[in-house]
Amino acid sequence: MKLPLPGLCPVLLSTVMCVTFLGCNVTRITLNTPLTQNNVAFIVPGQTTLADVITKLGTPDSITESYAGVVATYRFLDMKYSRINFGWLLKPFSPVDTDLIISRTGLGTDALELLCDSNWVVTHQSFLRHLSGSRFNPYPF
Amino acid sequence: MLFFKPLASVIIVLALVMLQGCAFSRGTLGEDIKSESVAAIKKATTTKDEVLSLLGAPDRLLQVNGRDVFQYYRYDAKVGSLLLILINFSRLSIKSDDLFVILNREGIVEDVILSKRTDGMEFRFWPFGE
């Protein structure tokens, strides 16, 4: 569709941008580097040692002992938060500050756990929650 | 093309006008793990007392596989915020340096494991992507 006044386009575009993004916050928090299945594909239970894993992934966040052996845990977090305040739309017209806020937080927390035997060979490995990854989506309903 | 140029100009001007400010913050937990001190620890030679004198008391003391494990850690957090009039972007990155010193039953160092994840960690604003 061709607009009647080409000069109107920038104004229209900026207005749409302003209305869409009024009072927006986009925040992300990451703890350590999130690991994926691809990052741990090199681990072969019964063959790979904890030293091999440390060489590639760094030291684990914790090492604990269980009846089945030593448990090394890599923890990570990928939190995404987005918020829109539609109350900003009324700011030019209202004498008071009004808020109509929608927000949503996706807390993508997970951990990789490795079970090692007494010789530090990895016998089992698994992610705790198998997250698919949180998204920026302020719509809470 | 005649239409595009004014549009680009308007967008650039809008972006400049909307740029309200930016913020940098940083927080750390624990002392920096000095590489020289770690390098001074030799496997099968250094004793528990020497480790303690080099690095101080561990943040965590574990018993694993019949061995004592000293864990030292340090956390570093960096926040970058880009504050626009209409939209704010922020990103907080937290990483840790961890050192594990594994001691055998005789109190001699069996292994030293160090990783410095905080090296190269940068202030970031952009929350999207990796």
Q: Report the amino acid identity of residue B128.
A: F
Q: How many domains does chain A have?
A: 1
% of chain A surpassing 70 pLDDT = 81
Sequence ranges of the domains in chain B? 4-116
Q: Write down the ipTM of this complex.
A: 0.73
Distance (Å) of CA A29 to CA A45, A108, B28, B77, B111? 32, 10, 16, 10, 33
Most confident of B44-53, B76-85, B119-128: B44-53
Length of chain A: 141
Interface probe, candidates A18, A21, A28, A115, chain B, greatest B C-beta count within 10 A: A28
* Least Cα separation, residue A28 to chain B (angstroms): 5
What DSSP letter does each residue of A74-125 carry, written as one string?
A: EEEEEEEEEEEEGGGGGTTT-SS----EEEEEEEEEEEEEEEE-TTSBEEEE
Task: With both helix axes pointing from N to C terminus, report the angle between B4-18 and A8-21 in degrees, rounded to the nearest 10.
Answer: 30
- Map tokens 């909307």 to a residue: B18
| In a domain? residue A135 | no
Residue A43, pLDDT score: 94
| In a domain? residue A67 | yes
Question: Quick one: which of A43, A30, A10, A115 has its CA closest to A75?
Answer: A30
Residue B49 has pLDDT above 90, yes or no: yes
* Contact residues, chain A, for B14 at CB < 8 Å: 14, 17
**For residue A81, what are its two tokens?**
């938060």
% of chain B surpassing 90 pLDDT = 48
**Contact (CB<8Å) B88/A25:** yes
State whether residue B104 sits within 8 Å of chain A by CB: no
Show the DSSP H helices in chain B as ranges: 4-18, 35-39, 48-55
Least confidently predicted of A92-101, B1-10, B17-26, B62-71 = B1-10
Residue A8 has pLDDT above 60, yes or no: no
Q: Which residue has the higher pLDDT, B16 or B33?
A: B33
Q: Which residues 49-68 on chain B approach chain A with CB closer than 8 angstroms?
A: 60, 62-65
- Residue B55's pLDDT band, with cuts at 50, 70 and 90, is very high
Domain that residue A121 falls in: 8-127
Residue A33, pLDDT score: 83
**Contact (CB<8Å) B127/A31:** no
Residue B21 has pLDDT above 90, yes or no: no
**For residue A19, what are its two tokens?**
């209305």
Residue A121, pLDDT score: 93
Which residue in chain B has the smallest CA separation from A19? Answer: B86
| In a domain? residue A2 | no
A31-76 tens-digit pLDDT: 888 888 888 999 999 999 998 998 888 889 888 888 888 999 999 8
